[in-house]
Structure 1
Amino acid sequence: MATTIDKSTISFLEDLSKNNTREWFQEHKPRYETARKNFLIFLDELLESMEPFEPVAHGQKGKDLVFRIYRDVRFSHDKRPYKDHFGAYIAEGGRKSILPGYYLHLAANNNSFVAGGLWMPPANYLKAVRQEIDYSMEELEGIIQAPAFKERFGSIQGEQLKTTPKGYDKENPAIEYLRFKSWNAVMPLSDKVVLSKDFMGVVLEAFKTVKPFNDFLTAPLRDLGEE
């Protein structure tokens, strides 16, 4: 039977969102450790189950993909010391990868979600993806208009330019996709779904559905290095 997310994991995240202080966290550190372990066990099984359709999952471990719960508050107006969620990014190179990948976000109060795509890439990646979209708009539309994709993710999301990207005409048929600075597919998850015995299957089906989108975004980046 597939690993599930414990109710106590979501309860901890809910309580943390209401009591985001170092004192409270230290007092409830054992609850945090238990919740984190539950998430890591879930991730390890998820990775194993992804291997038949996603080679980047091979050899990866949940502990290398999960983000730290401690917030970096040095340059932020928001001084809360902890994130009120668990997040993990599955991509080539682990959680710090700038390549397209799969994201799982676990939070209380129906704020969980799964996502795929490319988030805020560097300039050379941005340019390469835009070029790919310009050349292959029909292929992209075929992926994001597929019924299974639309049912789970709706339309693609991400920050967009208000103007036309440099080098493109505003009459370009692909202009709505070219204006993106991130290309993301996001599927919200209710607490009821997260805590269900079928949650592993829900995440796997979502990731299978978003894989062609990730593959499309990855193809033009294969020969690029970071600039």
Structure 2
Amino acid sequence: IFLDEIGEVDPAAQVKLLRVLQDRSYEALGSSVPRTVDVRVVSATNRDLVERVAAGAFREDLLYRLNLIAIRLPALRERRVDIPLLARHFLDLSAHAYRRPPIALADRAVAWLQDQPWPGNIRQLKQTIERAVLVVDGDRLDVGDLVALSGLEEREARGGTALPSPGTMTLDEMEKAMIVKCLRHYEGNVTRVAEALGLSRAALYRRFEKYGLESH
């Protein structure tokens, strides 16, 4: 069983998990009958659990139970050589998920991606590529598209906006929603909206016509 973000587990759940690991038994919700379990546990965290123990936020006995073999996965910024492969993989996945034709990744875009600090690691890289697929105009993702998108991401991060999960909206619905959001943010300034979305003014006006939008 894989337990992600184990460092965020609350104290009550830590007690229950420790019991399962020690006694290899648990009680199902609504039942008082113990059930045995025989599993191997793999857990992951981006927290320093030793520090969490010292702060009283994580049980020391649970840490000892979990920490039989520790594998440190370096941050993405420490293994930039992996970024081109990961970026192209996420690009293919996102293009397929949003029913887009294959999109090429320009060499300059790869270099830009490798220069970023990626505090959110692989998840942040994946989201960046996914968002680029939503707004890029054409079959090639270049550095200009990513630079424009990075500015939009920073502004939306401050506003707490996140992408919908795949399958909850069509590509057209997501594209229209993003254009409307940018129009509101830039108060109808078409030039700034086009720059933020990585589109030419002509491409943006075509989308206005497609979705029945007005720039004012």
TM-score, reference length from structure 1: 0.27
State the structure with more CA Rg: 2
* Higher relative contact order, structure no. (Cα contacts within 8 Å, ≥ 6 residues apart): 1
Point out the structure with the larger strand share.
1
Point out the structure with the larger helix share.
2
TM-score, reference length from structure 2: 0.28
